[in-house]
Amino acid sequence: MASVVDTAPLVLDVGVVLLGAATAGYVARRIGLPAIIGYLFVGLLVSPFTPGYVADKNQIAILADIGVVLLLFEVGIEIDLRRLRKEQKGIIWGAPLQVLIGMLVATPIFLYLNIPTLGALLLALSLAMSSSVVIVNITRSGRRTTDSGTEDALLGWSVVQDITGVAVAAIILTLYGASDQPLAVAIGGLVVFVALAAVASKVLPMILRLIRWEKDIFLIYSIGSGLFIAALGTVLFGIPMALASFVAGLAMSQSSDTDQLRKVVLPFRDLFQVLFFVVIGSLISPAEIRGSALFALLLLVLLFTLKTLPAFLIAKFAKLKARPGQLGIGLSQVGEFSFVLGSAALAEGALNQSQFTAILLTVVISIVISTLWVRAIHRI
């Protein structure tokens, strides 16, 4: 067992990061920016690329991974597929179409720029995906100008995007990545895991109903079940943990007793997601920014052209119960999923460090633009 002296530096890092992030997030909100920008800024301050305090990035990253699992578990719980099919049918085909358009147009552009096939495909997919974290924050912000229909559409679109994107990413990584796992085995593992999650969605609510008045036990079961099911999908079936946690939450959302579960998971999700964005900020090297700026600008232009506009037009054509302009702009950012895809491409040697830095810059800039613009567009 590690001694107190061994664990104290980690506790200190977490304490410093959380206090700094809370302060920066508060300041960001006071000047009209999203709190996430404050978290990213703190990540930059505690990174090895800037002078002053340096946090242990690997230890913080572990906690951030837990946060992403809880985040996507809660997002999955938030979505009612039955209501989505009934009230927002256009999203079922509209979101996959938007992802497909983005990939078909962006991939040849990246190939023309001499990016390897794996990198071009993952980069195109990363631009087609939006940030579930940011979209959840947009729909819950005290300064939001969206109506309930637009908020439901944003959440639903993000969910269908995630389902589409992770399935496509699994195929891309199987065909072009270093893994030697056959495609049929990868898809079969996903199907089996979905079946297990469906079984869990029937059993777990019955357990939670029995212990719902035991608040401490209910808390442990709620958090433990989300982490266990997500890790099980990764360990046994090789499914990315973010997807596994989302599938588990989505299965749970079909139960009638999810309100209390959502209330329990939400504070933990909010706490750990701070660490995730701090980690992203800590990876940005100021020395790389100048060399990455032009490519980041290209990514931002492609993001607007291949995601904002298609989402706007599809929402109009499908007659969704949403404001098309706010929907398109609310989706106009990249975030956690794009970071995961970019990291995978970098690890495979399909992107260089400068291109990866451009992805990080695109994350920061697109989050700022979309969260501010989505509030202003309705007034305009």
User: Where do the domains of the chain lie?
Assistant: 4-379
Q: What residue has token string 């920016």? A: 33
Q: Does 379 or 224 have the greater pLDDT score?
A: 224
Choose between 169 and 302: higher pLDDT. 302
Position 301 pLDDT exceeds 90: yes
Greater pLDDT, 63 or 95: 95
Highest mean pLDDT among 101-115, 124-138, 269-283: 101-115
Q: Which residue has the higher pLDDT, 172 or 74?
A: 172
Report whether pLDDT(146) > 80.
yes
The HSE-up count of residue 86 (CA atoms within 13 Å, CB side) is: 5
Q: Rounded to the nearest 5°, which phi and psi values hold at 284? A: -80, 120
Strand, helix or coil at 152?
helix
Q: What is the pLDDT of residue 106?
A: 95
CATH architecture for the domain at 4-379: Up-down Bundle (1.20)
| pLDDT at 81 exceeding the cut of 70 | no
Query: Which is more confident, 243 or 44?
Result: 44
pLDDT: is 40 or 88 the higher one? 40
Average pLDDT estimate for 71-83: 68
Is the pLDDT reported for residue 74 higher than 90?
no
pLDDT at 380: 61
Residue where the block lists tokens 């001499």? 114
- What percentage of the chain exceeds 70 in pLDDT? 81
- What is the average pLDDT value for the chain, to the nearest integer? 81
116-124: average pLDDT: 93
CB burial of residue 281 (10 Å; 0-12, 13-18, 19+): buried
- Highest-confidence range of 13-27, 156-170, 215-229, by mean pLDDT? 13-27
Distance spanning both ends of the chain, measured CA to CA: 60
The residue with greater pLDDT, 66 or 125, is 125
pLDDT computed for residue 53 by the predictor: 67
The pLDDT confidence band at residue 87, using thresholds 50, 70 and 90, is low
Residues 6+ apart with CB under 8 A from 69: 226, 227, 230, 241, 242, 245
Which pLDDT value is given to residue 286? 81
* Residue-wise DSSP of 194-236: HHHHHHHHHHHHHHHHHHTT-HHHHHHHHHHHHHHHHHHHHHH
Question: What's the confidence (pLDDT) of residue 131?
Answer: 86
Residue 99 is predicted with a pLDDT of: 94
Range in 212-216, 264-268, 314-318, 375-379 with the lowest mean pLDDT: 264-268
- Does the pLDDT at position 4 exceed 60? no
pLDDT digits (tens, 9 = 90+) for 45-56: 887 777 666 666
Per-residue pLDDT at 54: 67
CA atoms of 202 and 248, how far apart (whole Å): 12
